[in-house]
Structure 1
């Protein structure tokens, strides 16, 4: 049996809002984080692979998200359709999500079924076992999801366009869900290559949080994951740099599904973990979170020119986007929305924000963070975010 590399083992305390956890790395490169919390007899298991849409090739987009579906459709010792049954019959639930930077799988279930979750996750990490029927089926599922999220949804096409226009060469320019023609061309050889490149232990982080015993859980992790072969050392990573726009870019998007004019704006921002990323998160809160926020007060409550307005600081592993969108009320156009949004941004640029306003935004962010950590899944996600930022 392969040995666990327990050095260095790091233990972090909850002082200053941190979550207690122990972290170590197996010899095959799998990084492990354990958080012990006996407040409820529940355990959350997360396996996060450091692969998202930015790791795809320009002519093979959508593979990271496609794999999110394929990995639930059978593995070496688990038949098609059985993964979810194992979890639900144990009284738990499971799901996954894909971003530009990562693909995360998780299960939340009674803590006496921890070993079941570890067996299931290790089995789909063990080796390529995807069947062609799964590729055919899940490819169609993803294509339908794309139609539902973007092609047939009001303003869906604008979200794709804004990424395409915001980045010149960086792979953030294509949508996480990919392009339909690339999904149509996906072959079994393409799928195998993607799996063997990215779905390897040295490209993954395993987080277990909840009603566990640290030493017993270490032994279980070794039992189920230590013998999985390490993947390639030279896992391909795209460069973080991209050409910046030297002028404003505009495009009018005709969308038959959009009932009212809307404006979508994006600004390039620094990567997650950069000092400015925290300031931008607070700025987004000040601009659009809650009915007392600046843009809501101006566009929706006072001027009554919009029925919806939102901002989002989309910080990513590489420099991301600060997004603003607003949907007009009948009788107003996108030019009016843009003018008022620009006015509010200029006020902040010229006069800043009040201390009371900033403190309110900080309180909202902290409250959301505390609320998330009250669940085992939230605690495991917090530890995962820490290690992704750290690495």
Structure 2
């Protein structure tokens, strides 16, 4: 009876938290196609203004890679009304902070200001969209910035090109075979007009989602949005008809060298479905079951008990068109790749042949409930989630109902996904090893 009462209390506690987690928002389109999402939260005097453009590394053409990420830097160069070098000064001097980031699928810019500067954030993002300065001095300056970033994050970083190795070998037709940072040679050889054409093609209101979240008065915010964004001209957005991948039907093995490492790493990579697909959520759960935390199956066996690996991890990287499910293992001592592969395969076979225990299933559900409760704990996080769910997932309200997808996943679903996606003939094995000297 006592245990039942405790369970009821826990359920009630989570119920309160989940109800409090509901994110209320309003969304609408301007006539020029700009999608607007407003979220009012007057609990703290801050406002985040973010704009997500539906352009990422996958939209680039062969021979001109790196453009999407390059624009993440270039579009802080200024506008006719914001002098070169003044963007960050304006933000910091008005008590704000700002940043931008790029993925294979989208580019996102945002400012967070005290709420008395909400109008400033809206104006600055409208400036970026209306008439960003694309000139030779800006291009030349940001080329050097990107070169240094590539050296620091990838070329001189141990295991810095590991994700590139996975994507290059897992995708042969789709542009996910490239990298977000792209090729410096491509950027060096590109002409100024090509950058201007890229801006004209993708930085248009009907390829953008504007989100304003925080201490706002919605009616006033709408007036400012109409003033700053309403007069922008609608562009022509080309359909995203990317080449499809044929199913992987035969295991392949590749070796990639890295001059910055002393210990090898082994990756067993499988192509997984789009992050819009329910199976992507199921694979998220499977990766958590296998390697999240010291009590997880693979960590406990290979790292803790048998001391065969320094590190082991299962992951599911969801993207808009496809995903990547993989196992990463770094051997301990003389442990071979074949040994790690055999042990990982044993756990896959268990998943394919036997339902996980009720205790393990409940732990998974509790973990994802907890993640949901703790997600979106800041206005910046809420703004990014709202934009992402609209642009990449096609449903802004996933910010509230995504947990229902995880709750609906059964033990049988986990087994079925393991059977469907994690077969040896569907994978690429990557030996990521030190470069011989």
TM-score range, shorter chain: over 0.9
- Is the CA contact (8 Å cut-off) linking 1:42 and 1:109 kept in structure 2? yes
Deviation per residue, 1:230-254 (Å, 9 max, x gap): 111x424232622233311211122
Once residues 84 and 342 of structure 2 are traced to their aligned partners in structure 1, the CA distance between those partners, rounded to angstroms, is: 53
Deviates more, 1:315-324 or 1:116-125: 315-324
Confirm whether residue 342 of structure 1 aligns to residue 315 of structure 2. no
Once residues 384 and 370 of structure 1 are traced to their aligned partners in structure 2, the CA distance between those partners, rounded to angstroms, is: 19
- Is the CA contact (8 Å cut-off) linking 1:128 and 1:192 kept in structure 2? no
Confirm whether residue 151 of structure 1 aligns to residue 155 of structure 2. yes
Q: 1:228 aligns to what SS in structure 2?
A: coil
| TM-fit CA distance, 1:218 | 0.8
Once residues 64 and 181 of structure 1 are traced to their aligned partners in structure 2, the CA distance between those partners, rounded to angstroms, is: 15
Instruction: Provide structure 1 residue ranges, at least 5 long, that are not aligned to the other structure.
Output: 1-13
- Is the CA contact (8 Å cut-off) linking 1:73 and 1:83 kept in structure 2? yes
Q: 2:121 aligns to what SS in structure 1?
A: helix
Instruction: Provide structure 2 residue ranges, at least 5 long, that are not aligned to the other structure.
Output: 1-17, 396-437
- Is the CA contact (8 Å cut-off) linking 2:175 and 2:242 kept in structure 1? no
Q: 2:255 aligns to what SS in structure 1?
A: coil
Deviation per residue, 1:294-348 (Å, 9 max, x gap): 1111121111122222222111110121122122223323332222222222221
Q: Match for residue 248 of structure 1?
A: 251
Q: 1:252 aligns to what SS in structure 2?
A: strand
Q: Match for residue 5 of structure 1?
A: none
Correspondence list, 1:102-113, <5 A: 102-113=106-117
Q: Match for residue 134 of structure 1?
A: 138
Q: Match for residue 263 of structure 2?
A: 260
Once residues 131 and 355 of structure 2 are traced to their aligned partners in structure 1, the CA distance between those partners, rounded to angstroms, is: 54
The number of residue pairs the alignment matches comes to: 377
Aligned with 2:312 (options 295, 302, 309): 309
Aligned with 2:26 (options 16, 22, 25): 22
TM-score by length of 2: 0.83
Once residues 247 and 96 of structure 2 are traced to their aligned partners in structure 1, the CA distance between those partners, rounded to angstroms, is: 46
Deviates more, 1:218-227 or 1:246-255: 246-255
Aligned with 1:293 (options 289, 292, 296): 296
Deviates more, 1:327-336 or 1:17-26: 327-336
Q: Match for residue 180 of structure 2?
A: 176
Once residues 212 and 63 of structure 1 are traced to their aligned partners in structure 2, the CA distance between those partners, rounded to angstroms, is: 34
Once residues 219 and 251 of structure 2 are traced to their aligned partners in structure 1, the CA distance between those partners, rounded to angstroms, is: 56
Correspondence list, 1:70-149, <5 A: 70-149=74-153
Q: Match for residue 9 of structure 1?
A: none
Q: Match for residue 72 of structure 2?
A: 68
Confirm whether residue 283 of structure 1 aligns to residue 286 of structure 2. yes
- Is the CA contact (8 Å cut-off) linking 1:262 and 1:333 kept in structure 2? no
Q: Match for residue 3 of structure 1?
A: none
Deviation per residue, 1:162-220 (Å, 9 max, x gap): 11110111000011111222122122111011100001110000011111111111111
Once residues 225 and 237 of structure 1 are traced to their aligned partners in structure 2, the CA distance between those partners, rounded to angstroms, is: 25
Once residues 123 and 68 of structure 1 are traced to their aligned partners in structure 2, the CA distance between those partners, rounded to angstroms, is: 15
| TM-fit CA distance, 1:292 | 1.0
Q: Which structure's CA Rg is the greater one?
A: 2
Confirm whether residue 320 of structure 1 aligns to residue 327 of structure 2. no
- Is the CA contact (8 Å cut-off) linking 1:158 and 1:264 kept in structure 2? no
Deviation per residue, 1:112-131 (Å, 9 max, x gap): 11111111100010024222
Q: 2:256 aligns to what SS in structure 1?
A: coil
